[in-house]
Amino acid sequence: MAIPPIPTTLVGVLVLIVGLVILWIIISIPVYFAGKVITDGKAEFGQAMGATLGGGLAYFVVYYGVAYLLGTLIGPSAAIFALILAVIVWVGVYRASFDTDWLRAIGIVIVGWLVLIVLDFFLVHVFGVGFPDFFPF
């Protein structure tokens, strides 16, 4: 898959920013519904947006940071440790965002993924659009 070009005009940058914000909102919807279910209706959409943004950034930083630092020490198997640590940090962000325990945070992640799969299936079959490369097969 080719990497799309980086926008070089002000309009291109604005379109990219608006697109990323819209994608962020759309991705926050399943997390919001999962949070509502798992926290007995106490979750708010702002919490879901914070969790999706913070969780994604934390996952990215931890995964690539640990993979790079451990990769120089132990080689390619560092990616496994980085993945495990990044997932723990990601769930930790969800735990903090929704002010819940670890088990409920894991539940939010699982239910969020299930809602995202259903949402993607609906978007593909009704509108013919879906999340990019969501299903690799």
Instruction: Name all contacts of 22-29 with Cβ < 8 Å and 24+ positions apart.
Output: 24/49, 24/52, 24/53, 25/49, 27/52, 27/116, 28/52, 29/115, 29/119
- Cβ atoms of 49 and 24 closer than 8 Å: yes
Query: Which is more confidently placed, 122 or 39?
Result: 39
CA-CA distance, 41 to 30, in Å (whole number)?
14
Residue 3 has pLDDT above 80, yes or no: no
Reported confidence tier of residue 100, pLDDT bands at 50, 70, 90: very high
Closest CA to 58 of 26, 15, 105: 105
Residue 49 has pLDDT above 70, yes or no: yes
pTM score over 0.85: no
- Kindly state the average pLDDT of the residues 95-100: 93
